[in-house]
Structure 1
Amino acid sequence: MRVLQGTGVSPGVNAGKPINIERTLDFSTPATISLDKGIKELTAKYKNIIEKYNSSSREIEAEVLEAYILILNDPDLTNSLSELNEENLEQIYDVFLEQSEVFKQMDDEYFQQRSEDIEAIGKELIFTLQNISIEFDAEVPQVIFANELTPNETSSMNLNLVKGFVVKEGGPTSHAVIVAKNYGIPCILGISIADFDIDNAVEVIINGSTGELTINPDESSLKIVEEYKATATRQLESYTEDNLNKLGVELRANIGSTDEIKSFKDSLIKSVGLFRSEFLYIEESTEPELDSLINSNNLLNEKFEETIVYRTLDIGGDKQVDYLNLPKEENPFLGVRGVRLTLENRQLFETQISSILDSNINGKVKIMFPMVATLEDFQEAKEVVVSVADKLGAEIPKIGIMVETPSVAISPEIYIDEVDFFSIGTNDLLQYSFAADRGITSLNKYHDVLNPSFLKLLHNIINTSNQNDIEVSVCGDMASDTEGAYMLYLLGLRIFSLAPSQAPAIVSSLLKAKEALKNINIEEILSQKNSQSVRKFII
Structure 2
Amino acid sequence: PHGIHVRPAAMIITSLRDLDAEVTFSNATTGKGAAPADSLSSIAGLEIGCGQILEARISGPDADAARDVLAGLAAQNYGEDIKPRASRSLANGRTAMPRVFGEIPAAAERRAVFGPVSRIGLSPPVGEYRPLTPKDELARFNEAVAEVDTFLTEIISEGEAVPGILDAQRLMLADRELQHGVVGRITAGFSAVDAVDDQLTGMARSFDKFSDSYLRERAQDLRSLRRMLLLALLGRRLEQETPDEPRVWVLEELDAATAMRLDPRLCLGVVTVAGGSSGHGMLAAQARGIPVLAGCAQVADVVDAQIVAFDPVTREFWPNPDEKLRAELERRNAARTADAERARLRAHEPAITRSGKAIKVEANVSSIDEAQAAARQGADGCGVLRTENIFAKDLTPPDVEIQTEVFVRIGQALDGPITIRTWDPAGDKPLAFMPNQPEDNPALGERGIRMMRRAPQIFRDQIKAALLAAQQTEVQLLIPMVTDPAEFVWAKEQIESVRAELGTDPVPVGVMIEVPAAALRAGEFADLVDFVSIGTNDLSQYTQAADRTNGAVRELARQDSPAVLELLRLTRAALPDLPLAVCGDLASDPAVTATLVGLGVDALSVRPGMVAEIKEAVRAI
Task: State whether residues 359 and 618 of structure 2, in contact with CA within 8 Å, keep that contact through their aligned partners in structure 1.
Answer: no
Partner of 1:138: none
Structure 1 position 396, deviation (Å): 1.4
Aligned mates of 1:262, 1:237 — CA distance in 2: 20
Task: State whether residues 349 and 378 of structure 2, in contact with CA within 8 Å, keep that contact through their aligned partners in structure 1.
Answer: no
Determine which of 295, 309, 315 is the counterpart of 1:205. Answer: 309
1:480 aligned to 2:588?
Answer: yes
1:495 aligned to 2:614?
Answer: no
Q: 1:217/1:249 Cα in 2 relative to 1: closer, same or farther (>3 Å)?
A: farther
Structure 1 position 252, deviation (Å): 1.0
Partner of 2:366: 256
Residue 604 of structure 2 aligns to a residue whose secondary structure is strand
Residues 366-377 of structure 1 aligned to structure 2 (within 5 Å)? 366-377=476-487
Residue 313 of structure 1 aligns to a residue whose secondary structure is coil
Q: Give 1:494's aligned amino acid.
A: D
Residue 510 of structure 2 aligns to a residue whose secondary structure is strand
1:13 aligned to 2:111?
Answer: yes
Task: State whether residues 165 and 188 of structure 1, in contact with CA within 8 Å, keep that contact through their aligned partners in structure 2.
Answer: no
Q: Give 1:232's aligned amino acid.
A: T
Partner of 1:237: 342
1:177 aligned to 2:285?
Answer: no
Partner of 2:534: 424
Partner of 1:289: 399
Task: State whether residues 375 and 414 of structure 2, in contact with CA within 8 Å, keep that contact through their aligned partners in structure 1.
Answer: no
Aligned mates of 1:105, 1:210 — CA distance in 2: 36
Partner of 1:328: 438
Residues 73-472 of structure 1 aligned to structure 2 (within 5 Å)? 108=213, 112=217, 148-149=241-242, 153=244, 165-168=248-251, 171-172=254-255, 173-174=257-258, 177-179=262-264, 180=267, 184=289, 186=291, 195-196=301-302, 204-209=308-313, 212-214=316-318, 215-217=320-322, 219=324, 222-239=327-344, 240-241=346-347, 244-247=350-353, 248-257=358-367, 260-261=370-371, 266-316=376-426, 318-321=428-431, 323-359=433-469, 363-465=473-575, 467-468=576-577, 470-472=578-580
User: For 1:234-259, what per-residue CA distance to the aligned partner results, in whole angstroms no more than 9, with x for missing partners?
Assistant: 23203414764333222111123465
User: For 1:154-210, what per-residue CA distance to the aligned partner results, in whole angstroms no more than 9, with x for missing partners?
Assistant: xxx5xxxx5x633457845448733246984546688999945888x7x75333456
Partner of 1:533: none
Q: TM-score, normalised by structure 2?
A: 0.56
Structure 1 position 450, deviation (Å): 3.0
Structure 1 position 394, deviation (Å): 1.2
Q: 1:225/1:390 Cα in 2 relative to 1: closer, same or farther (>3 Å)?
A: same
Higher deviation after alignment, 274-283 or 208-217:
208-217
Aligned mates of 1:198, 1:78 — CA distance in 2: 25
Aligned mates of 2:383, 2:300 — CA distance in 1: 42
Structure 1 position 426, deviation (Å): 1.0
Residue 410 of structure 2 aligns to a residue whose secondary structure is helix
Structure 1 position 338, deviation (Å): 1.5
Indicate the percent of aligned positions where both proteins have the same amino acid: 23
What is the RMSD computed on CA atoms of the aligned residues? Answer: 4.7
Residue 282 of structure 1 aligns to a residue whose secondary structure is coil
User: For 1:375-398, what per-residue CA distance to the aligned partner results, in whole angstroms no more than 9, with x for missing partners?
Assistant: 222122101101100101111111
Aligned mates of 2:114, 2:351 — CA distance in 1: 38
User: For 1:250-308, what per-residue CA distance to the aligned partner results, in whole angstroms no more than 9, with x for missing partners?
Assistant: 21111234654466552401411011122344321222223332232233233221111
Residue 458 of structure 1 aligns to a residue whose secondary structure is helix
User: For 1:67-101, what per-residue CA distance to the aligned partner results, in whole angstroms no more than 9, with x for missing partners?
Assistant: xxxxx585x68999xxxxxxxxxxxxxxxxxxxx9
Q: 1:348/1:259 Cα in 2 relative to 1: closer, same or farther (>3 Å)?
A: same
Q: 1:210/1:445 Cα in 2 relative to 1: closer, same or farther (>3 Å)?
A: closer
Q: 1:169/1:321 Cα in 2 relative to 1: closer, same or farther (>3 Å)?
A: same
Structure 1 position 351, deviation (Å): 1.4
Task: State whether residues 366 and 398 of structure 1, in contact with CA within 8 Å, keep that contact through their aligned partners in structure 2.
Answer: yes
Structure 1 position 354, deviation (Å): 1.2
Aligned mates of 2:378, 2:596 — CA distance in 1: 20
Aligned mates of 1:301, 1:207 — CA distance in 2: 34
Residue 338 of structure 2 aligns to a residue whose secondary structure is helix
Task: State whether residues 368 and 413 of structure 2, in contact with CA within 8 Å, keep that contact through their aligned partners in structure 1.
Answer: no
Q: Give 1:223's aligned amino acid.
A: E
Q: 1:186/1:197 Cα in 2 relative to 1: closer, same or farther (>3 Å)?
A: same
Aligned mates of 1:400, 1:455 — CA distance in 2: 20
Q: 1:242/1:355 Cα in 2 relative to 1: closer, same or farther (>3 Å)?
A: closer
Residues 506-525 of structure 1 aligned to structure 2 (within 5 Å)? 506-512=614-620, 514=621
| Aligned length, in residue pairs | 417
In structure 1, runs of 5+ residues without a counterpart are: 1-9, 44-71, 81-100, 124-133, 135-146, 515-539
Residue 453 of structure 2 aligns to a residue whose secondary structure is helix
Aligned mates of 1:242, 1:260 — CA distance in 2: 17
Residue 246 of structure 1 aligns to a residue whose secondary structure is coil
Task: State whether residues 398 and 420 of structure 1, in contact with CA within 8 Å, keep that contact through their aligned partners in structure 2.
Answer: yes
Aligned mates of 1:282, 1:370 — CA distance in 2: 17
Q: Give 2:363's aligned amino acid.
A: A
Aligned mates of 1:373, 1:15 — CA distance in 2: 41
Structure 1 position 19, deviation (Å): 7.7
Residue 328 of structure 1 aligns to a residue whose secondary structure is coil
Structure 1 position 458, deviation (Å): 0.8
Aligned mates of 1:288, 1:276 — CA distance in 2: 14
Residue 11 of structure 1 aligns to a residue whose secondary structure is helix
Structure 1 position 419, deviation (Å): 1.1
Structure 1 position 462, deviation (Å): 2.8
Q: Give 1:390's aligned amino acid.
A: A
In structure 2, runs of 5+ residues without a counterpart are: 1-107, 125-146, 169-202, 229-238, 268-284
Structure 1 position 16, deviation (Å): 4.7
Q: 1:393/1:219 Cα in 2 relative to 1: closer, same or farther (>3 Å)?
A: same
Partner of 2:181: none
Aligned mates of 1:262, 1:227 — CA distance in 2: 27
User: For 1:101-143, what per-residue CA distance to the aligned partner results, in whole angstroms no more than 9, with x for missing partners?
Assistant: 99x9577499849969xx8xxx9xxxxxxxxxx9xxxxxxxxx
Residue 309 of structure 2 aligns to a residue whose secondary structure is strand
Q: Give 2:446's aligned amino acid.
A: V
Residue 570 of structure 2 aligns to a residue whose secondary structure is helix
Residues 46-61 of structure 1 aligned to structure 2 (within 5 Å)? none
Q: 1:114/1:344 Cα in 2 relative to 1: closer, same or farther (>3 Å)?
A: closer
Structure 1 position 20, deviation (Å): 7.4
Higher deviation after alignment, 453-462 or 503-512:
503-512
Task: State whether residues 207 and 218 of structure 2, in contact with CA within 8 Å, keep that contact through their aligned partners in structure 1.
Answer: no
Q: Give 1:13's aligned amino acid.
A: R
Aligned mates of 2:457, 2:491 — CA distance in 1: 13
